[in-house]
Amino acid sequence: MAGKEPGMKVPEDLLYTKNHEWCRIEDGTAVVGITDYAQHSLGDITYVELPEEGQMFQAGKVFGTVDSLKTVAELFAPVSGEVLEINSGLPNSAELVNEDPYNDGWMIKVEISDEKELELLLPAAEYLKLVSKQNKK
């Protein structure tokens, strides 16, 4: 494994932010979470603070936080819109973000208010280039 990210997963069907959030688009809704790279960098996640359903967020604004043994990290909305659903299992099972960041560890579902914002997100190949550069620092 030397010289390679330790088993880092970057699913091809997702879009990514430079702040290490991902979103999966499902019929005008964005399912949002943090990437495998982010959860690995944070270490053991102990708590996830999420917004209330019905809250509105602008792309790039903080929608919650993730606490780990190392630090507290802010979560940034990849798209603007209304929070339709939160992953209600996370407050009691924050470790799901470490164990399965792209499925069971999802955080919020947002009704996308401006689909043009999706063009500003990174496809998997560009996100991989970004984290490769960050790993070399």
Phi, psi dihedral angles at 118 (to 5 degrees): -60, -30
Tens of pLDDT, residue by residue over 4-14, are 345 689 999 99
Position 7 scores a pLDDT of: 63
Task: Judge whether 57 and 77 are in contact, CB under 8 Å.
Answer: yes
Q: What is 15-115's CATH number, 3.40.640.10, 2.40.50.100, 3.40.50.11030, 3.40.50.1100?
A: 2.40.50.100
pTM of the full structure: 0.92
